[in-house]
Amino acid sequence: MKDLHKSLGGVVGTFLALSTILGSGMMILPGISYHTLARSAWMPWAVAALAVVPLLYCYAWLGQRHPSASGVAHYAGVAFNPALARTAGTAATFALVAGIPATALTGGHYLAEFTGAGALTWLFPVLVLGVATAVAYAGTGVSGRLQVVLVIALFVMIVCVALVALGSNGVRAPATRLPPSGSFGMVLTAVFVAFTGWETVAFTFEEHKRPDIIPRVFAASYVIVVALYALLLLSLFATVDPDDDGLRSAPLLLLAERALGGLGRPVALVLVTGVITANVLASVLALSRLVFGMARDHHLPAALARLRERDGNPVTAVVAVGTLLVLIAVLSTSGLVPLEHLFTFSGGVYFVLYGVGAAAFARLATGGTARVVTVLCAVTVLGVTLLAGPSMWLCWGLFAVLFAVVILTRRRNAREPEPERTRI
């Protein structure tokens, strides 16, 4: 089987990472955390930002040395065995298949609420998923350039809105009083989702021209993400009362209206549409690469590993992924698949995959730095798992069940005799 075409540079790779990370979490989580903890909301964000660093170090190290479209599945296979590789890849596929439609549906709900056009609840997800599939079909180069434009425009808009809000209302210093442990743990578990997405970016590493710059891609995108979240929190502190119920559903709308007055609603609409579109574009591209990698490794039907001759784009995987995502979005809008279940499952499984990546790093990396990073990762994974409670424990349990099924299937196939050949 052929490898994917090397077409990504460091700049496009960084914007691709930003598109993947800045999704629906940016639109909701700053408001929920502020509503719950008032101006102490910065504390769980700071803890999550620090806690994710060793996990990002693991993925950057693995991506630089083992770039593959299979991402965490490939790392698990190199470090451990094919059974764990297949389990990790299957779990990642399930998580993205659940999470991408959920993100698109969030945008649909936002737009329907803002405009009063109820049809947008289902129409926007279908349209944005269709566009994302078409862009991924066009190729990584087209997708990357489009995401650069989108992210730059969004970043400029968010920074301008935040600066206007701070300039007209002044800066209110964050609180230093520790919040109740129960509320802190609940918010920490939620905001950790805002720092996931780099594991999804790993599925595009095979297309990087220079894998050696992957750590710099991670570092640059991390700094930008942390700065953007900090700016949003400070802007909310300055302009919105923490008791405002709108923080739970539309914090960006509140911020834009307080900063820009009558222009706030259209600006918020553009921001929501842009953030969701950029995230879905990047995620569909990444999922198609994962499906291609899994097919190439014989974990999915071989037809999904076909590459288009002129540019090495796995268009069969792209079409299959796009069709499935649209179907799930339609089923979810009909009420058959609850939206909150998609988010819970996707976020939980992806945290489990963070743990799998950290375990692969611990197995492959050597030296004093590797040991320190391994310990920090173990503390982070264990701490977040305990704080998250039953929903996270269920995801670990599902991963264990999937691993057991893969083991049993491989053993059964190994015991089955080859079919006898007919003699002529």
DSSP per-residue letters across 76-129: HHHHT-HHHHHHHHHHHHHHHHHHHHHHHHHHHHHHHHHH--TTHHHHHHHHHH
> For residue 422, what pLDDT band results from cuts at 50, 70 and 90?
very low
Evaluate whether 188 touches 46 at the Cβ level (below 8 Å).
Answer: no
Residue 113, number of CB atoms within 10 A of its CB: 16
pLDDT the model gives residue 216: 93
Q: What is the mean pLDDT of the chain?
A: 88
Burial bucket for residue 141 (CB in 10 Å: 0-12, 13-18, 19+): middle
pLDDT the model gives residue 144: 86
Tokens found for residue 164: 């206007």
pLDDT the model gives residue 325: 94
pLDDT in tens, 201-211: 899 999 999 99
Residue 152, number of CB atoms within 10 A of its CB: 12
pLDDT the model gives residue 340: 60
Alpha helices by DSSP H, listed for 139-263, are 140-169, 181-191, 198-201, 214-239, 251-260
- Percent of the chain past pLDDT 90, that is, above it, reads 47
The 3-state DSSP class for residue 202 equals helix
Residue 388 reports pLDDT greater than 80 = no
> For residue 66, what pLDDT band results from cuts at 50, 70 and 90?
very high
- Give DSSP secondary structure letters for 12-33: HHHHHHHHHHSSHHHHHHHHHH
pLDDT in tens, 308-350: 988 889 999 999 999 999 998 888 776 665 666 666 677 788 8
Evaluate whether 18 touches 204 at the Cβ level (below 8 Å).
Answer: no
Region of 208 (left: φ > 0; alpha: ψ -120 to 50; beta: rest) is beta
Nearest by Cα to 269 from 107, 103, 102, 119: 107
**What's the chain's length in residues?**
424
β-strand partners of 208: 8
pLDDT the model gives residue 24: 65
> For residue 193, what pLDDT band results from cuts at 50, 70 and 90?
confident
pLDDT the model gives residue 423: 40
Burial bucket for residue 378 (CB in 10 Å: 0-12, 13-18, 19+): middle
Cα 262 to chain centroid distance, Å, stands at 33
pLDDT the model gives residue 78: 95
pLDDT the model gives residue 421: 45
Taking the whole predicted model, whether its pTM rises above 0.85 is answered as yes
Lowest pLDDT segment from 69-83, 105-119, 366-380: 105-119
Nearest by Cα to 342 from 212, 211, 241, 193: 193
> For residue 291, what pLDDT band results from cuts at 50, 70 and 90?
very high
What is the C-alpha to C-alpha distance for residues 361 and 377, in angstroms, rounded to an integer?
Answer: 10
CA distances from residue 409 to 80, 89, 97 in whole angstroms, order as listed: 18, 16, 23
